[in-house]
């Protein structure tokens, strides 16, 4: 279980998070819903240890997780980034697969399931918004941390693409990994 206890974050006089607490059991897909500016991304960044919080703690399986070691437990996929923008999609995906010790067959399966086959030779910087989002989800699926956090996972996807991603998230959840998304 992932436990978040009283995370708080201020930006000057603006209180972005005010003692947010939650529990997310294993094999769960959890979503964070709220209007723009509600602090969803701030919460995910704080959970991932990428943005220092003013207070609060994170636990995984009842063990405290310091900020500096959270990347061993959580893999955070930020919204609207283009990592390795000048490289082709296929190269980047296979590179990440090798970093995470994933088999080529898994990488190829993810490419097919996320309908990226027609874009494997395209530079990441040249992808449309929806294709770039599917590419980012693929990177997340190749990671091996038990918790996958996706910021705005469906932004830029059409309904058919969204309906194709949801079963993938359910599969990884039922396999013992879970995802949080804002």
Given CA atoms 94, 100, 105, 109 in this order, what sign does their dihedral have?
negative
Identify the CATH number of the domain in which residue 78 sits.
Answer: 3.40.50.300
Helix, strand, coil distribution of the chain in percent, nearest 5: 40, 25, 35
The mean pLDDT of 3-15, rounded to a whole number, is 96
169: Cα separation from own chain's centroid: 11
Distance CA 75, CA 80 (A): 16
| Enclosing domain of residue 157 | 2-181
Distance CA 80, CA 62 (A): 33
Strand partners, 126: none
Token pair of 65, please?
A: 């997780």
State the Rg of the chain over Cα: 16
pLDDT above 90: percentage of residues in the chain: 79
Summarize pLDDT for 13-36 with one digit per residue, the tens.
999 999 999 999 888 888 899 998
Summarize pLDDT for 126-147 with one digit per residue, the tens.
999 999 999 999 999 999 998 9
CA angle at 83 for the pair 78 and 86, rounded to the nearest 5°: 155
Q: Based on the structure, what is the number of domains in the chain?
A: 1
């Amino acid at each position: 279980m992932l436990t978040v206890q009283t995370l708080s974050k201020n930006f000057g006089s603006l209180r972005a998070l005010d003692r947010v607490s939650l529990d997310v059991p294993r094999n769960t897909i959890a979503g964070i819903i709220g209007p723009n500016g509600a602090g969803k991304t701030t919460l995910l960044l704080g959970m991932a240890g990428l943005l220092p919080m003013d207070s609060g703690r994170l636990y995984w399986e009842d063990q405290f997780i310091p900020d500096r070691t959270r990347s061993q437990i959580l893999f955070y996929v930020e919204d609207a980034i283009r990592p390795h923008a000048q490289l082709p999609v296929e190269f980047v995906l296979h590179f990440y697969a090798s970093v995470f010790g994933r088999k080529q067959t898994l990488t190829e399966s993810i490419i097919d399931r996320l309908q990226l086959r027609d874009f494997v030779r395209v530079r990441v910087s040249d992808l449309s918004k929806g294709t770039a989002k599917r590419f980012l989800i693929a990177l997340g699926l190749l990671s091996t941390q038990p918790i996958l956090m996706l910021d705005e996972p469906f932004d830029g996807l059409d309904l058919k693409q969204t309906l194709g991603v949801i079963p993938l998230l359910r599969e990884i959840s039922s396999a013992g990994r879970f995802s949080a998304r804002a």
